[in-house]
Structure 1
Amino acid sequence: MNSGALRGVALDLDGTLLRSDHSVSARMRSLCSALIRQGILLTLISSRPPRSVEEIARGLGLEGPWAALNGAFVVGAGREILDRSPLPEASVERLLSRYGRDERVSLNLYAGFDWIVQAIDDRVRGEVDIIGFAPTVDVGFASRPATEKILMITDEGSDDGARIAGELEALDDDVAVARSKPNYIEITRSEIDKGRALALIAASRGLSAREMAAAGDGENDVPLLRACGYPIAMGHGPRSLRQIAELVVGSNDDDSLTDALGRLFGLLPSR
């Protein structure tokens, strides 16, 4: 695609926009400001909870639109909810019944801006360290509201993430299963993914998804890259992602994505 036809860019967060210490580099911040000044639609599409995505967006000077929860929660300017797609209640009940006491996983429920867990364990503490705030504890999820996403966290370095993802795909046709990391299993309503979120965000600004570039690094970014007009994969991403990319860049710690976007939009920042 001719880069001159691109009118926006969507960025995944962890492993893409964010460095390994979960910060945004000074050069990337400069580029984001330049894109906004040029009238380029800059948006964030992440599996993170809304509160975390909103905080990062504000830090970049973005009021919206952006998407959280792997595309199940899409927000416009002024916190206007553009789309909210809860999981079917019957599916949530089945998943909690099957995995609620499974020691292989820590269950996390996301309902709008709320993050709910049954207990604070080491896996949940690791997520707290990443996103910067703590969840609400509700033993047994007794009073849960409508839930947009369930995150199952397994132990790093084990095969449980792949094994449980396979179990889930065979278990319930009403849910979509994706992994943002090998040990992070993201469960949303069927047909909900980052590609759909990109189309909704683009349409909210009178654009099509094909007028957007997009960058990501995880299995859950495959729909995002398939939907956009110029797909960019991080070099550490899985082969399934790199195979569909127009461009593969380096690490999220080396500003190679900053350089690529700067060239793509004619705004290469100075070193």
Structure 2
Amino acid sequence: MVSASFRGVAFDLDGTLLRSDHSVSPEMRSLCSALTGQGLLVTLISSRPPRSVEQIAGSLGLQGPWAALNGAFIFGPGRTMLDRSSLPEATVEHILARYGRDERISLNLYAGFDWIVQAADRRVRAEADIVGFPPTVDAGFSSRPAIEKLLMITDEGSSDNVRLAEELAALDDGIAVARSKDNYIEITRSKIDKGRALAFIAERRGLSAREMIAAGDGENDIPMLKACGLPIAMGHSPQPLKQAAELVVGSNDDDSLTDAIGRLFRAALAP
């Protein structure tokens, strides 16, 4: 019944498709191969930069489209740009002027496949280890193209995280503010989120978002789960995401998500 109703699945990456060591389990790799082999759409919708999403998609043999930067940049094979939504320049200037010298925050700018930072500090180096490549260092952000996403990284467990998110949301400068992790504050253009990206990608394949299953684990995944036909939350997700889900699975390290999606598409995967 499920396989007749749903035509694909969209995965968040960190904490969802990827294990805690940022690798893909053999079981998940096999599932993605089986689903795409049956003509089903398997896509990645992540806050990661496009270059990192591209690397993971390539390793899984996915054909695209995919979304990066929390949905602000949608692209396909060969780095074909399908949609991009840049932040208002005045808003970027305002945020940089207000927070650019705050040592509690590491500011990261994303413009297409470029990742730009003021300094490769310890927070930035940790992020580089996660995504698999280093950023470009431009002290003071002296020269920059149009920006699709601005990421603020604070220290884990810091009391500044909630306050910063609230301050940014209160700016009302045509931006959307979401947290992908407790200490990661994602800033994109207003109304640009993973839900919009899911609808865009599904339409490119002649589908609706309601024909898609979607899985995630962060607050920034809530729009995607609300847009899809069957929302799945990981067991470690914050409560608001679990409330948006119809199914809650276990850890990203125990292949419970792989098992659940495999059962849902069993008829489609049958030889």
- Same topology, TM > 0.5: yes
Q: Which residue of structure 2 lines up, in the alignment, with residue 180 of structure 1?
A: 180
Q: Provide, for residues 103-139 of structure 1, a one-character-per-residue CA deviation record: whole Å limited to 9, x for no partner.
A: 2210000000000000011110110111111000001
Counterpart code for 1:42: V
Once residues 120 and 69 of structure 2 are traced to their aligned partners in structure 1, the CA distance between those partners, rounded to angstroms, is 20
Counterpart code for 2:25: S
Alignment of 1:246-265 (within 5 A): 246-265=246-265
SS in 2 for 1:59: helix
CA contact 1:64–1:78 (8 Å) conserved in 2: no
Alignment of 1:79-118 (within 5 A): 79-118=79-118
What is the deviation of 1:173? 3.1
SS in 1 for 2:177: strand
CA contact 1:86–1:147 (8 Å) conserved in 2: yes
Task: Confirm whether residue 60 of structure 1 aligns to residue 70 of structure 2.
Answer: no
Q: Which residue of structure 1 lines up, in the alignment, with residue 24 of structure 2?
A: 24
CA contact 2:236–2:251 (8 Å) conserved in 1: yes
Alignment of 1:158-173 (within 5 A): 158-173=158-173
Once residues 102 and 267 of structure 1 are traced to their aligned partners in structure 2, the CA distance between those partners, rounded to angstroms, is 54
Task: Confirm whether residue 142 of structure 1 aligns to residue 125 of structure 2.
Answer: no
CA contact 2:211–2:228 (8 Å) conserved in 1: yes
Name structure 1 gaps, 5 residues minimum. none
Q: Which residue of structure 2 lines up, in the alignment, with residue 125 of structure 1?
A: 125
SS in 2 for 1:157: coil
Closer/same/farther in 2, CA of residues 209 and 268 from structure 1, 3 Å limit: closer
Q: Percent identity?
A: 76
Once residues 205 and 252 of structure 1 are traced to their aligned partners in structure 2, the CA distance between those partners, rounded to angstroms, is 28
CA contact 1:64–1:77 (8 Å) conserved in 2: yes
Q: Which residue of structure 2 lines up, in the alignment, with residue 154 of structure 1?
A: 154
Once residues 12 and 32 of structure 1 are traced to their aligned partners in structure 2, the CA distance between those partners, rounded to angstroms, is 14
What is the deviation of 1:157? 1.1
Once residues 267 and 192 of structure 1 are traced to their aligned partners in structure 2, the CA distance between those partners, rounded to angstroms, is 35
Q: Which residue of structure 2 lines up, in the alignment, with residue 73 of structure 1?
A: 73
Question: Number of paired residues?
Answer: 270
CA contact 2:71–2:193 (8 Å) conserved in 1: yes
Between 1:157-166 and 1:255-264, the stretch displaced more is 157-166
Once residues 96 and 244 of structure 2 are traced to their aligned partners in structure 1, the CA distance between those partners, rounded to angstroms, is 35
TM-score, normalized by length of structure 2?
Answer: 0.97
Q: Which residue of structure 1 lines up, in the alignment, with residue 189 of structure 2?
A: 189
CA contact 1:234–1:249 (8 Å) conserved in 2: yes
Once residues 177 and 92 of structure 1 are traced to their aligned partners in structure 2, the CA distance between those partners, rounded to angstroms, is 13
TM-score, normalized by length of structure 1?
Answer: 0.97
SS in 2 for 1:150: strand
SS in 2 for 1:42: strand
Once residues 34 and 58 of structure 1 are traced to their aligned partners in structure 2, the CA distance between those partners, rounded to angstroms, is 15
CA contact 2:12–2:46 (8 Å) conserved in 1: yes
Task: Confirm whether residue 45 of structure 1 aligns to residue 45 of structure 2.
Answer: yes
Q: Provide, for residues 123-171 of structure 1, a one-character-per-residue CA deviation record: whole Å limited to 9, x for no partner.
A: 1011011111100000110111100000000001112111100000112
Q: Which residue of structure 2 lines up, in the alignment, with residue 33 of structure 1?
A: 33
Once residues 244 and 87 of structure 2 are traced to their aligned partners in structure 1, the CA distance between those partners, rounded to angstroms, is 29
Moved over 4 A (4+): none
What is the deviation of 1:2? 4.5
Counterpart code for 1:171: L
Q: Which residue of structure 1 lines up, in the alignment, with residue 4 of structure 2?
A: 4
SS in 1 for 2:186: strand
Q: Let me know the Cα RMSD of the aligned residues.
A: 1.5
Closer/same/farther in 2, CA of residues 267 and 53 from structure 1, 3 Å limit: farther
Once residues 27 and 3 of structure 1 are traced to their aligned partners in structure 2, the CA distance between those partners, rounded to angstroms, is 19
Give the structure with the higher percent helix.
2
Once residues 222 and 54 of structure 1 are traced to their aligned partners in structure 2, the CA distance between those partners, rounded to angstroms, is 23
SS in 2 for 1:213: strand
Once residues 3 and 225 of structure 1 are traced to their aligned partners in structure 2, the CA distance between those partners, rounded to angstroms, is 18
Once residues 34 and 62 of structure 1 are traced to their aligned partners in structure 2, the CA distance between those partners, rounded to angstroms, is 11
Q: Which residue of structure 1 lines up, in the alignment, with residue 233 of structure 2?
A: 233
Q: Provide, for residues 210-232 of structure 1, a one-character-per-residue CA deviation record: whole Å limited to 9, x for no partner.
A: 00000000000000000000000
Q: Provide, for residues 57-102 of structure 1, a one-character-per-residue CA deviation record: whole Å limited to 9, x for no partner.
A: 0000013110000000001243221100000101100010101001
SS in 1 for 2:244: coil
